[in-house]
Structure 1
Amino acid sequence: MPISGFPEWLPPQRMIEQYALDKIRSTFELYGFAPLETRAVEPLETLLSKGETSKEVYLLRRLQEEDPSARSDDQLGLHFDLTVPFARFVTENHGKLQFPFRRYQIQKVWRGERPQEGRYREFLQADIDVVNRDTLPFHFDTEMPLVIGDAFRSLPIPRAVIQVNNRKVCEGFYRGLGLSDTAQVLRTVDKLDKIGPEKVAAALVETAGATDAQAQACLKLAEISASDGSFVDRVRALGVDDPLLDEGLSELLQVVETAGEHAPGLVRAELKIARGLDYYTGTVYETQLVGYERFGSVCSGGRYETLASVGNTRFPGVGISIGVSRMFGILFGQNALSVSRSVPTCVVVAVPSDDRRGDCERIAMALRRRGIPTEVAPTAAKFGKQIQFADRRGIPYVWFPGAPSSGAAASDTVKDIRSGEQVEADAATWEPPAADLKPVVSAS
């Protein structure tokens, strides 16, 4: 019986996901990110200190726990993202790490959200982060979109657009307007796509102490969007001054211009982006797939200055996370991806008779040793049925062992069951075309 919010892919979908993970992992490593895996649980106190997540954390407890309702210092919860456990890992291991430390992490996370298409309670994320001791040069913020852009371009998915903002722009603007509770304003504006401008304006008046004019100014800032540096003049035209605003505009301009040079069309400044987690302090990213904007972001992250610290030493970082399950759940739901066969197998070795299964296994082993995915037919049925067995799963080749004859064995043959072509073959030397060796993932 399915459980809402806990997806299980069919084998063809899982092959597509694994293909994508291989491409993503390869891209991360091309940029010098090292692999890391952290534990699935963190102290509840740590999880609750990182933003509005208290309703989303899954607790971990034993079935026979004496008082499951009791709160204690050692209570554990499943992590809701990979950034918080990464920050904890850095503080515990900083003496063993070389800084700046670049890592990628591909793991499951858990959130007690309301399940919907592309949004799950258990899902896979693929993160990259860079952290440094004391200060982190800003050029790492400009690098993040380039890594993700390369990863997405390696996949048969719709074009991605990374929307970028800087919290310093927003906070400086709100401060320049005279709004003191900038964190509340950020949280409220972040709901713009969900509840619309009228309700956001009303919420700003009610929860952040804004006047109607201040609320409208916040909405005007959130309307600004540009794929080049023109957003700076549009912000200036709103007539608000603040040093933090100036700093944020300068940083955001660097991200947009760097991306424009290396990957035109990849990045767009989108001044309504805020991100809901409290630990972000500067650059923030959200990514949409063209044609799938209604589903929201499939890749997000940002800069954090104070998430990790030991004594007086801070470890600022910047990171971005691909919502792997989210992205592929959306694409699977729209039948946007396909795979050329439902199993990894390239060759089925036909079994002429049960007493020759040993010969067939030896042929299969010879092919496997050379990296050719091979299985032996399950029964010594008529060859027509063995060919059907391969065809139903999209396996392109059937191998027929040569019949023993007086003095020497007849040659083996291999048949491309798509074209019907059948040729003599030797398991020690035969190679399938490169395109047939592994299943091919493509856009539907």
Structure 2
Amino acid sequence: MSRVTPLSGFPEWSPAERVVEASLISTLREVFALHGFAEIETRAVEPVARLAGDSDAAKEIYALTRLAAQEGADARLGLHFDLTVPFARYVEEFQSKLAFPFRRYQIQKVWRGERPQEGRYREFYQADIDVVGRDVLPAHIEAEVAVVMARALAALPIPKATMHINNRRLVEGFYRSVGIEDVAGALRSVDKFDKIGADGVRKELGEKGVSETAQDAVLELAKIHSRDTSFVNAIEDLWETTFTTGDEAAEKVFAEGIAELAALVSAVNAAVPGTAVADLRIARGLDYYTGAVYETVLEGHEDLGSICSGGRYDSLVAGGGFPGVGMSIGVSRLVSRVLGAGLASATRAVPSAVLVAVTSEDDRRASDEIADALRARGIPAEVAPSAAKFGKQIQHAERRGIPFVWFPETGEVKDIRSGVQVPADVRNWEPPAEDRWPRTVRA
């Protein structure tokens, strides 16, 4: 037999670890549904041309050569590397059947061809929420989506999440006012701030033809950061002291962006206090963002990078007409950190709350009936694999992590953690609520 060769970038969880992952996903589903988001699922496969678009994303796509051959010589198909592109196709394809604004959430695996490292996988779960309108989408939806995500993160067994928020209209208006024509290119450079630092950003801007005066202005804007609306005064002061082109259209967009960002930060902090931070360094390098942009980090775990990001876009579908706002959580990244840092753990690895002992193999039927009676009442149970001595059956329950052992012959149930053994009736006995099913508990 050949040796098993591990594959990097494809997480595999033990039963106890899977309990934690499933708990996180279940919590996200519950919070999203409580806020009126409906769940959808899209196919895992899309045409490569749709996935890549005009970007260089083709290098991240895992191609499916056999399926492509079955579908036809011209078909180039690949596994989706995020949930946004499939969602755009879904809206385009089923628009006549959707009620707008369409509120959806989606939790699925995606596949991305990147170098595996801590918290980054080739196969991972992603959780997205989006609200998409038909032609128009009110600005308050930007705050609503951020609030839902903030509440979802607060419900997880993770440290406090801080949501850094900026507004692309504000930034675009400011950049144009200082003479920057390639706004998208400048944003892509600023988006690398954490990786290359201020000097690196300045160097890239210079290579793109941005003047030194404009470089100074861009970097000064990127320094502005506040947990309330005091950032407005700082931005307006910078505006007054910065040489501008006198572009009235840019000034109008800039002013509207400031107002939108102030309203957004206030709304999020009113709903989930201390969550939102106005951070003028957040750029989100993707060109399709047009309003609010979000990046979220965990306090004390900033090395993990952004664990939830997104923003406002004017058109989900090529050709326009479907503005929206969405955010995405890297679920597997969170699970990896939760487990690796010991932030939470499962109360037990198996679902069974009760092990029904077997007095003898001739009496196994009686044990099976007790287990079935417990299951009928929603109590997970299993029957001992053999009619060994009761001490060995109790040891089996301990190894499995099962808290209770039922003895059919005496009609008693034992909590093997405390040693307490009491008479029990299968028709009405209940385990403590916290023991009925495995749970995830914070460290």
**TM-score (norm. length: structure 1):** 0.93
Q: How big is each residue's C-alpha offset from its partner over 1:369-428, in whole Å with a ceiling of 9 and x where there is no partner? A: 1111111111111111111111123211011112xxxxxxxx411000011110111111
CA contact (8 A) 1:349 1:398 kept: yes
Instruction: Give the share of equivalent positions with the same residue, in percent.
Output: 55
Across the two proteins, how many residue pairs are aligned to each other? Answer: 429
State the secondary structure of the residue aligned to 1:196. Answer: helix
2:27 matches 1:23: yes
Q: How does 1:16-415 map to 2 (within 5 A)?
A: 16-49=20-53, 51-62=55-66, 74-206=75-207, 208-239=208-239, 242-309=251-318, 314-402=321-409, 411-415=410-414
State the secondary structure of the residue aligned to 1:144. Answer: helix
Work out the CA distance in 2 between the residues paired with 1:139 and 1:343: 44
Work out the CA distance in 2 between the residues paired with 1:50 and 1:356: 69
| Corresponding letter in the other structure for 2:402 | I
Q: CA deviation at 1:281?
A: 1.5
Question: In 2 relative to 1, CA 416–125 (structure 1 residues): closer, same or farther, beyond 3 Å?
Answer: same
Which residues of structure 1 form unaligned runs of 5+?
Answer: 403-410
| Corresponding letter in the other structure for 1:124 | Y
Q: CA deviation at 1:65?
A: 5.1
State the secondary structure of the residue aligned to 2:26. Answer: helix
State the secondary structure of the residue aligned to 1:165. Answer: strand
Work out the CA distance in 1 between the residues paired with 2:421 and 2:55: 63
Work out the CA distance in 2 between the residues paired with 1:80 and 1:277: 15
Work out the CA distance in 1 between the residues paired with 2:114 and 2:149: 26
Work out the CA distance in 2 between the residues paired with 1:64 and 1:150: 42
| Corresponding letter in the other structure for 1:429 | N
Q: CA deviation at 1:219?
A: 1.5
Q: How big is each residue's C-alpha offset from its partner over 1:227-251, in whole Å with a ceiling of 9 and x where there is no partner? A: 1111111112222562222121111
Which residues of structure 2 form unaligned runs of 5+?
Answer: 245-250
Give me the CA root mean square deviation.
Answer: 1.8
State the secondary structure of the residue aligned to 1:7. Answer: coil
State the secondary structure of the residue aligned to 1:314. Answer: coil
Work out the CA distance in 1 between the residues paired with 2:188 and 2:56: 10
Q: Which runs of 4+ in 1 moved over 4 A?
A: 63-66
CA contact (8 A) 1:38 1:85 kept: yes
Q: CA deviation at 1:75?
A: 1.2
Work out the CA distance in 2 between the residues paired with 1:124 and 1:4: 16
2:13 matches 1:9: yes
Higher helix share: 2
**TM-score (norm. length: structure 2):** 0.93
Question: In 2 relative to 1, CA 63–321 (structure 1 residues): closer, same or farther, beyond 3 Å?
Answer: closer
